[in-house]
Amino acid sequence: MAQNCEHPAGLGVGVVWWPILDDLCRQGEGLVDVIEAEPETFWLPKAGGFHSLLAEALSHLPQPKLLHGVGAPVGGTCPPPDGHLSALLADIAALRPEYVSEHLSITRFRPTPDRSPASAGFMLPPLQSRAGVFLGAANIRRRRAALGGIPLAVETPVNYLPPARGEWPDGVYIAATAEAADCAILLDLHNVLCNARNGRQSAAAFCDALPLERVWEIHLAGGESEGGLFLDAHAGLVEPELMEIAADLVPRLPNLRAINFEIMPERVAEVGLAAIAAQLCRMRDLWNRRAANPEPQDIPLPAWPQSEPTLNDPAAWETLLGCAINGLPEPAISDETVAWWRDCTPALDIYRLLVREGRASAVASAAPHTTRELLRHFGTSRTREILADHWRHSPPGYTSADEARALFEFLTEVDPSLPGLAQAIASDLADLDKLSALNLN
């Protein structure tokens, strides 16, 4: 491979880092070997782009770093937001990661062909077809070149939609895209397990379709069920079934560099740092299952399918999903697609829920005084109604600060006389402005 995939140095066991996990990362050798961070979650908007707080946040940790993008996936037609590339390049220069990973997913769409891209508010599945493969591969090559040629790995996505007639199997789509782009694979086994439990391709079939020498990294996590679907919620520890899948697979991966654990920061307290430390020790046992002298396996990849889904235009696919999930007018679909689209209702409801929960979390983190004032005055139920009313008229923001500022404008227009609200908004705005001012120095 052009990315020098042959026998890379192993990094070991790590975590996707949040400040609440810092005590684990400081415990010295033998527990956390590598730190993976999601750069966009540490960015603040500024004029013309973003300022990153990530390098400063990680400066005290000596472990090697990896960057795992969450704000500009490579599965769709819409380019990243203005300023994204320069902010990511700054993080790469500061942290010197061995490689960068990106999701093979979609987060932006055009509500109509003539409109600017809007945020979908959540990672959405890409179009799994020949057109989707060519699009993803071109995006990966373009991103890698823009980042100065740093090696790039693509993450296997979670997909809550039922399989569409004619779409490519999950594993074949990933394999074809990675081969066409000549890139590495971040194999998120929890995503694969979710897909299998939700009626998509089995975990065994998925892994058998992959070029295993391209797998540089594994992600493990815990999930939960909601609305009849199993979600990649990063909600807890890794369940035994997933550990068994990983144990069988790790000895077959000649170029594995890291096994990383993912958990949302708000779930850490209920799980406990001691339990997470024990989880990392079990992952160490997985890491030690690597073959002593791995040899690339000469296994033929599945042929590219001849079938194609009825809806086979990537831009139209993004518009359909993005509009449906965000309550916008949906484009017309063909008669052949109607039955499948009707079967998508439970999955679309889940995506809508995830968008709402993500936006609420963003508001709570960026506007804590305003959030508390709303809850104090209205209670939880009415506060959620107010937020829902706002979201019906406002697309998801790219950062938490964007979400907060849009909410402030909405609340000021709706009820500027609410006791205490103006002071709460002013306090949150002052905090955001202070951060912005610090970042401009």
CA distance between the termini of the chain: 42
pLDDT over 60 (residue 121): yes
Backbone angles phi, psi at 65, to 5 degrees: -115, 150
Could you say which DSSP state residue 226 is in? E
Mean residue pLDDT across the chain: 92
Q: pLDDT band at 8, cuts 50/70/90?
A: very low
The DSSP code for 239 is P
Which percentage of the chain shows pLDDT scores above 90? 85
Cα 297 from chain centroid (whole Å): 30
DSSP label of 234: -
Whole-angstrom distance, CA of residue 215 vs CA of residue 228: 31
Residue 6: pLDDT band (50, 70, 90) is very low
Query: Please, are residues 71 and 144 in contact by the beta-carbon 8 Å criterion?
Result: no
> What is the gyration radius of the CA atoms in the chain, in angstroms?
22
352 three-state secondary structure: helix
- pLDDT at residue 441 tops 80: no
Assess whether pLDDT exceeds 90 at residue 48.
no
Phi-psi domain of 78 (left: phi exceeds 0; alpha: psi -120 through 50; beta: other): beta
Mean pLDDT of 230-242: 97
User: Which DSSP state fits 382?
Assistant: H
Task: For 262-307, write each residue's pLDDT tens digit.
Answer: 999 999 999 999 999 999 999 999 999 997 766 666 677 788 999 9
Q: What is the mean pLDDT of residues 379-400?
A: 91
pLDDT above 50: residue 311:
yes
CATH number of 12-287: 3.20.20.150
Using pLDDT thresholds of 50, 70 and 90, give the confidence band for residue 110: very high
Residue 18 structure tokens:
């949040």
Asked whether 246 and 258 are in contact (CB, 8 A), the reply is: no
* pLDDT-based confidence at residue 415 (cuts at 50, 70, 90): low
Q: Judge whether 276 and 263 are in contact, CB under 8 Å.
A: yes
Closest Cα partner for 147 from 85, 235, 213? 85
Enter the DSSP assignment of 212.
G
